[in-house]
């Protein structure tokens, strides 16, 4: 994999997008100092994952973004892209199939950083994984920048081993080991959590088992209650059905009675309806007769009104005729008056026209003289204004000169006052005390020395503080570990003691023991112990006797009135054993393994273990049973009993199983807890001492810092005082010089002001004389203006008077014309009115002749006779209607009586309907309750048991009381118990899986350590061999080798031992600067021989070398360039000649770098072609 292109944009001084092509194996980057050459190396290191700003020569990561220059603004992002040629497929991981690999990093100014491989967003870890074990990366040896050589040489042995690990490719194993350790830690934490959950789950299972039993009993009671409730519902349903039938029969009887009364009511309503229809017909006939009478009356009234109207119309026409004749006479008289007025106004119009012509000629004459007078007056006014303006200018000049004179006088006064102030200030300038300044400076030097001493003490204490903090943390960690161990021991001890207490807590036996005051008596197992491994054997022999109660005398049992409710063994502590010593038959008695805490228990245990011997195995016991005397037994460590003719196999089936082993464990834990408590007290004491030491150092540091701060403030105050004294002295001398200069300037300005004051006084005298002459001329011209304006006013008055008379004449002539037109219009209107009045007289005479007729009176007599006939017919119809109305009222009373009999029947029927509906609803309610119930079974229960309603209700109340007495019941306890058991099974499997996973991970770490050790040792030998070959090439002789500082290569450091030609063996730290550089280069190139990196970056590594050593280095680089691409920065001409391609970096624009690429071989070929051509 070879680097083919570098693309930079916005990175440090490369603000413009820059493309650097690298086609050759040896590429040189050249340019003057400060042009940005090393920024290319920083860009390569940055894109490969460097995250330390200091390694990129900055304070923060944002410093790599171009921050602007004199002519350019800052940019918001920086990006670097490396393009690798992977045509041979040597890239690691999933990218090996790509022929070209692009690695890019982008950083925004807001801090957002992103990595890309072939334009795919990836993590930083993905970038570093590609170059793991290749010598490339943020801290790899393949990037040798300025100062890298000295860091390699001066590195500690542990730091130098890191380069060796990178060359061996162990870094990827180291990362995997670290990940595996983290997984082991996570697995261990998960295992602890699973154990805690299992402990809590075991407690929960016990509690749930009790709750499940209560829930089962609750469900049994609930089932009985449901059955009783259903029987109660069935009885209620049957009773509701009975009531509903009874109410239905009553409803049927009431309905029959109601229907009979209703039929009688319908018959009466039919008769009533027929009579009512006759009544309506007779009423209609009566209304018709009344209508005819009303029509006759209306006709008579109409005829009478018509006759009265004709009389009124006749009188009105007579009056109108008389009025019309009078109006005709008046209109004729008015016409004569209007004609006479018309002749008068025609004469007045002729006279008015003559006056208008006369005043028009006079007005034209006056209008001709007015412009001449106005022009003469205007000329005189302009002349007067001009002379006034000239006079005003002279006055303004005089006023300005006077103002200037006053201003000069004020300036002279101000200059004199300023001169007085300067003289006073010069006399009062402060005199600085030079001795006080010297004394203050000496005190400042003493304070500086005192502060330096405090700074040294503070530095020493600050160096001691981390050690004290580490010691404090170690003591605290050790104390926490002791507390954890003590807590675990106490928890296990508490759990074992709880189990031991449960041995004595038989719930059936406990009340009986309390009754007989035996609950506090000691048990047998509390007073004995047995050797480890024989606990089950002793339990199998003694069984429930192991939990026997110790009594002073067995005679007490004779006074017990009742027997124990469970198995119980007792023994006496008041006597010795009556059995003789067992016969020696070559077998070991079980009693030899028993020890006694209370000697009083020895007789009874000896009696119970008499004839019991031990055997290690069942097979051996079967062979030894022939030795057993009658009634004797052999017992194995597992508790199996072997008799002469039988074998009893033991199984832990009683509550005392394990009680002896637990007791031994309790005693061991109590002793261990006591020791751990002692160790914890000691650890707390040591932690307290470490804490006191740490806080003492902290207090001393705080005191020193406070003293340093106080001293610094005093020193700062003294420094300010020195500065003030120095500045005051300087200001005093500077001010004296300034005052002298200002006094000289004031004298010059005062002389200049006196000269200007004299000139202004002379100019003011001349202006006063000119203003007096102008005043006389202005007054003469003003009188002439007044005369001309008087003549203009007279001319205007004459012209205005003439115009007024002309307007009056024209107005009067117009008035005459309008009067004449109005009079002619009036004459026309009067003629029209006379014609209309004459026509009206003719129409009135014709209407009077038409009214004189006697037809209306004859029609009136006929209408009066017809009205009398119709009044008689109306009286007959009214008598018939009154008879029909009486019959209708009688029938209505009979109908109301019948309806009153129907109301009680309806109410009774409604009441029975409601009761039947209530019974039916109750029946449906109970039927709905019994919808999902097998009623056949319930009926059989009712018939067989002769169950009553009250008995069912009482039984239901009792069951509800029993259910309530159970209290709060966890009905989900059975499901929760099942779920908890499944969860416990799952957690047990999970704990097993975690244990297996931890074993697997630990095995993986062992394999990684073995592979890393083998690979690192092989690499160490190979690098040592290559170093032995490379060192003489660079030095022209001598030898060098790597030396391990420890036995374990994974933890030991690496040192470089070098012996240049003619020198003894010495450490690399004793060599000169050039020798160190060559040795470091030899070491790095030795690693390259083992694991060639895709490319190597050299930043001025030839700077400390002379020409001879530089030539050797160039030859070595040229040889190694066959396998590794070299990119170097150099100012050495010898090194530049080695490059196949030169990249020039310039900075023509200040702060902005640009590149210029030169292909050396292409340049030589062009030169040769040019030579041949010439």
936 has a pLDDT exceeding 60:
yes
Q: Look at 635 and 1073; give whichever has higher pLDDT.
A: 635
pLDDT cut 90: percent of the chain above it = 2
User: How do residues 175-185 score in pLDDT, each as one tens digit?
Assistant: 777 777 788 88
User: Are 46 and 139 in contact, with CB atoms under 8 Å apart?
Assistant: no
pLDDT band of residue 6 (cuts 50, 70, 90) is: very high
Structure tokens at 117: 């491989």
Strand partners, 1152: none
Domains delineated in the chain: 1-140+1097-1174 (3.40.50.300)
Q: Look at 641 and 1165; give whichever has higher pLDDT.
A: 641
Phi-psi map region of 31: left, alpha, beta (phi>0 left; psi -120 to 50 alpha) = left
User: Helix %, strand %, coil % for the chain, to 5?
Assistant: 70, 10, 20
User: How do residues 251-295 score in pLDDT, each as one tens digit?
Assistant: 888 888 777 777 777 777 777 777 777 877 877 787 787 777 778
Q: pTM for the whole thing?
A: 0.36
- Residue 575 is classified by DSSP as S
- Residue 1003 is classified by DSSP as H
250 has a pLDDT exceeding 50:
yes
Q: Please enumerate in sequence order all residues whose Cβ is within 8 A of that of 650, keeping only pairs 6 or more positions apart, or say none.
A: 536, 539, 540, 638, 639, 640, 641
User: How do residues 380-399 score in pLDDT, each as one tens digit?
Assistant: 778 878 887 887 888 888 88
Q: Residue 508's pLDDT is what?
A: 65
Q: Residue 969's pLDDT is what?
A: 67
> Using CB atoms within 10 A of its CB, is residue 824 exposed (0-12), middle (13-18) or buried (19+)?
exposed
User: Are 548 and 538 in contact, with CB atoms under 8 Å apart?
Assistant: no
Q: Look at 578 and 642; give whichever has higher pLDDT.
A: 642
- Separation between Cα atoms, residue 398 and residue 761, nearest integer Å: 10
Q: Residue 78's pLDDT is what?
A: 92
Q: Please enumerate in sequence order all residues whose Cβ is within 8 A of that of 983, keeping only pairs 6 or more positions apart, or say none.
A: 201
Q: What's the rounded mean pLDDT across residues 712-734? A: 74
- Separation between Cα atoms, residue 54 and residue 978, nearest integer Å: 62
Nearest of 597, 604, 606 to residue 527 by alpha carbon: 597
pLDDT cut 70: percent of the chain above it = 88
Instruction: State the alpha helices, DSSP H only, in 930-972.
Output: 935-945, 949-965
104 has a pLDDT exceeding 90:
yes
Q: What's the rounded mean pLDDT across residues 774-788? A: 81
Q: What's the rounded mean pLDDT across residues 480-505? A: 69
Q: What order of strands is seen across the sheet that includes strand 647-648?
A: 612-614, 633-635, 641-642, 647-648
- Residue 596 is classified by DSSP as E
Q: Residue 1174's pLDDT is what?
A: 45
- Separation between Cα atoms, residue 36 and residue 50, nearest integer Å: 19
- Separation between Cα atoms, residue 469 and residue 691, nearest integer Å: 8
368 has a pLDDT exceeding 90:
no
- Separation between Cα atoms, residue 1149 and residue 636, nearest integer Å: 100
Residue that the structure tokens 């497929």 belong to: 89
User: How do residues 662-715 score in pLDDT, each as one tens digit?
Assistant: 777 777 777 788 887 888 788 878 888 888 888 888 788 878 877 877 777 777
User: How do residues 76-102 score in pLDDT, each as one tens digit?
Assistant: 899 999 998 887 777 766 777 788 889
User: How do residues 750-773 score in pLDDT, each as one tens digit?
Assistant: 888 888 888 888 888 888 888 888
- Residue 1167 is classified by DSSP as H
SS3 for 1059? strand
User: Are 539 and 546 in contact, with CB atoms under 8 Å apart?
Assistant: yes
- Separation between Cα atoms, residue 338 and residue 336, nearest integer Å: 6
Half-sphere exposure of 269 (CA within 13 A, CB side): 9
1137 has a pLDDT exceeding 80:
yes
pLDDT band of residue 659 (cuts 50, 70, 90) is: low
321 has a pLDDT exceeding 50:
yes
617 has a pLDDT exceeding 90:
no
Residue that the structure tokens 């440090």 belong to: 12
Nearest of 72, 42, 53 to residue 145 by alpha carbon: 42
853 has a pLDDT exceeding 70:
no
Q: Residue 857's pLDDT is what?
A: 65
Query: In the chain, count of helices (H) and strands (E)?
Result: 19, 23
Lowest-pLDDT choice from 791-800, 969-978, 995-1004, 1050-1059: 969-978
- Residue 65 is classified by DSSP as B
425 has a pLDDT exceeding 80:
no
654 has a pLDDT exceeding 90:
no
Q: Residue 903's pLDDT is what?
A: 75
Report the b/e string of 968-991 with b at 16+ CB within 10 A: ebbeebbebbeebeebbeebeebb
Structure tokens at 942: 């009712």
- Separation between Cα atoms, residue 1038 and residue 1061, nearest integer Å: 4
Q: Residue 1165's pLDDT is what?
A: 60
Structure tokens at 414: 């101000």
């Amino acid at each position: 994999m070879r680097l083919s292109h570098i693309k930079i944009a916005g990175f440090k001084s490369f603000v413009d997008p820059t493309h650097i092509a690298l086609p050759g194996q040896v590429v040189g980057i050249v340019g003057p100092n400060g042009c940005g050459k090393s920024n290319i190396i920083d860009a390569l290191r940055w894109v490969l994952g460097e995250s330390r700003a200091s390694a990129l020569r900055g304070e923060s990561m944002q410093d790599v973004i171009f921050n602007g220059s004199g002519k350019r603004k800052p940019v918001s992002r920086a990006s670097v892209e490396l393009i690798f040629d992977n045509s041979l497929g040597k890239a690691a991981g999933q990218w090996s199939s790509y022929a070209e690999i692009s690695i890019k990093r982008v950083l925004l100014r807001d801090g957002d950083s992103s990595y890309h491989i072939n334009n795919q967003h990836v993590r930083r870890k993905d970038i570093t994984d590609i170059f793991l074990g290749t010598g490339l990366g943020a801290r790899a040896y393949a990037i040798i920048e300025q100062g890298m050589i000295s860091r390699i040489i001066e590195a500690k042995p542990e730091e130098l081993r890191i380069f060796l690990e990178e060359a061996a490719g162990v870094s990827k194993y180291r990362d995997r080991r670290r990940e595996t350790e983290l997984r082991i830690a996570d697995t261990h934490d998960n295992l602890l959590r699973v154990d805690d959950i299992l402990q809590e789950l075991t407690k929960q299972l016990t509690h749930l088992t009790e709750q499940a039993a209560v829930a089962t009993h609750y469900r049994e009671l609930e089932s009985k209650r449901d059955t009783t409730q259903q029987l109660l519902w069935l009885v209620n349903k049957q009773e509701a059905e009975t009531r509903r039938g009874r109410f239905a029969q009553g409803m049927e009887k009431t309905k029959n009675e109601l229907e009979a009364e209703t039929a009688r009511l319908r018959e009466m309503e039919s008769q009533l309806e027929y009579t009512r229809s006759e009544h309506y017909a007779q009423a209609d006939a009566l209304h018709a007769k009344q209508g005819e009478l009303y029509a006759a009356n209306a006709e008579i009234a109409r005829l009478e009104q018509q006759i009265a109207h004709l009389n009124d119309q006749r009188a009105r026409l007579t009056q109108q005729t008389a009025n019309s004749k009078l109006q005709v006479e008046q209109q004729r008289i008015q016409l004569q008056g209007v004609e006479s007025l018309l002749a008068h106004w025609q004469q007045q119009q002729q006279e008015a026209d003559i006056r208008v012509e006369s005043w028009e000629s006079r007005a034209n004459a006056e209008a001709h003289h007015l412009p001449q007078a106005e022009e003469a007056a205007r000329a005189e006014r302009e002349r007067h204004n001009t002379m006034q303006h000239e006079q005003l200018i002279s006055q303004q000049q005089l006023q300005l000169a006077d103002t200037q004179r006053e201003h000069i006088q004020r300036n002279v006064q101000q200059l004199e006052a300023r001169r007085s102030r300067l003289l006073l200030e010069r006399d009062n300038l402060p005199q600085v005390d030079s001795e006080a300044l010297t004394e203050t400076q000496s005190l400042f030097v003493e304070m500086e020395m005192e502060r330096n001493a405090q700074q040294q003490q503070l530095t020493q204490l600050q160096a001691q503080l981390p050690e004290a903090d580490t010691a404090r943390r170690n003591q605290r960690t050790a104390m926490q570990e002791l507390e954890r161990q003590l807590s675990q021991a106490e928890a296990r001890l508490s759990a074992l003691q709880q189990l031991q207490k449960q041995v004595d807590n038989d719930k059936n036996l406990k009340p009986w023991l309390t009754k007989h005051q035996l609950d506090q008596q000691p048990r047998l197992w509390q007073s004995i112990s047995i050797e480890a491994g024989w606990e089950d054997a002793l339990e199998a022999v003694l069984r429930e006797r192991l939990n026997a109660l110790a009594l002073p005398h067995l005679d007490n049992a004779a006074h017990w009135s009742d027997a124990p409710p469970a198995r119980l063994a007792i023994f006496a502590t008041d006597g010795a054993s009556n059995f003789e010593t067992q016969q020696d038959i070559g077998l070991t008695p079980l009693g030899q393994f028993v020890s006694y805490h209370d000697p009083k228990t020895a007789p009874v245990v000896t009696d119970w273990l008499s004839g019991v011997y031990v055997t290690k195995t069942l097979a051996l016991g079967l062979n030894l049973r022939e030795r057993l005397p009658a009634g004797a037994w052999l017992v194995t460590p597992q508790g199996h009993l072997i008799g002469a003719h039988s074998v009893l196999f033991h199984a832990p089936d009683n509550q005392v199983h394990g009680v002896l082993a637990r007791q031994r464990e309790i005693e061991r834990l109590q002793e261990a807890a006591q020791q751990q408590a002692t160790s914890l007290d000691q650890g707390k004491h040591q932690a307290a001492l470490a804490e006191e030491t740490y806080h003492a150092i902290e207090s001393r540091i705080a005191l020193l810092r406070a003293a340093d701060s106080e001293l610094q403030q005093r020193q700062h105050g003294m420094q300010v005082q020195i500065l003030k004294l120095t500045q005051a002295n300087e200001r005093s001398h500077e001010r004296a010089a300034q005052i002298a200069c200002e006094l000289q300037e004031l004298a010059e300005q005062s002389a200049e002001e006196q000269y200007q004051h004299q000139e202004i006084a002379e100019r003011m005298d001349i202006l006063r004389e000119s203003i007096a002459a102008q005043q006389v001329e202005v007054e003469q011209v003003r009188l002439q203006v007044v005369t001309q304006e008087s003549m203009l006013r007279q001319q205007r008055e004459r012209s205005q008077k003439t115009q007024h008379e002309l307007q009056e004449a024209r107005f009067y002539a117009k008035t005459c014309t309008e009067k004449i037109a109005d009079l002619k219009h009036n004459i026309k209107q009067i003629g029209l009115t006379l014609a209309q009045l004459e026509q009206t007289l003719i129409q009135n005479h014709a209407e009077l002749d038409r009214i004189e007729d006697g037809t209306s009176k004859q029609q009136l007599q006929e209408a009066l006779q017809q009205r009398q006939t119709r009044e008689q017919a109306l009286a007959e119809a009214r008598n018939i209607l009154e008879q029909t109305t009486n019959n209708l009222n009688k029938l209505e009373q009979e109908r109301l009586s019948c309806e009153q009999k129907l109301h009680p029947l309806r109410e009774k029927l409604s009441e029975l309907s409601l009761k039947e509906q209530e019974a039916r609803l109750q029946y449906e309610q109970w039927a709905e309750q019994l919808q999902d119930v097998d009623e056949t079974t319930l009926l059989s229960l009712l018939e067989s048991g002769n169950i009553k309603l009250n008995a069912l209700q009482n039984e239901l109340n009792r069951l509800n009381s029993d259910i309530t007495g159970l209290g709060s019941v966890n009905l989900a306890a059975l499901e929760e118990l099942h779920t908890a058991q499944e969860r416990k099974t799952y957690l047990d499997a999970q704990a097993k899986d975690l244990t297996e996973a931890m074993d697997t991970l630990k095995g993986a770490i062992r394999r990684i350590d073995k592979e890393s050790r083998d690979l690192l040792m092989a690499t160490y030998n190979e690098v040592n061999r290559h170093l032995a070959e490379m060192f003489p090439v660079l030095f022209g002789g001598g030898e060098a080798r790597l030396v391990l500082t420890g036995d374990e290569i994974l933890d030991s450091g690496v040192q470089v031992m070098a012996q240049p030609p003619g020198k003894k063996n010495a450490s690399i730290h004793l060599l000169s600067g050039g020798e160190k550089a060559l040795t470091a280069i030899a070491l790095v190139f030795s690693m390259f021989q083992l694991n060639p990196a895709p490319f190597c970056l050299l930043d001025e590594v030839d700077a400390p070398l002379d020409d001879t050593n530089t030539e050797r280095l160039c030859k070595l680089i040229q040889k190694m360039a066959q396998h590794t691409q070299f990119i170097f920065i150099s100012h050495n001409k010898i090194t530049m000649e080695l490059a196949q391609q030169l990249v020039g970096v310039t900075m023509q624009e200040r702060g902005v770098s640009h590149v210029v690429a030169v292909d050396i071989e292409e340049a030589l070929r062009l030169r040769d072609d040019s030579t041949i051509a010439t």
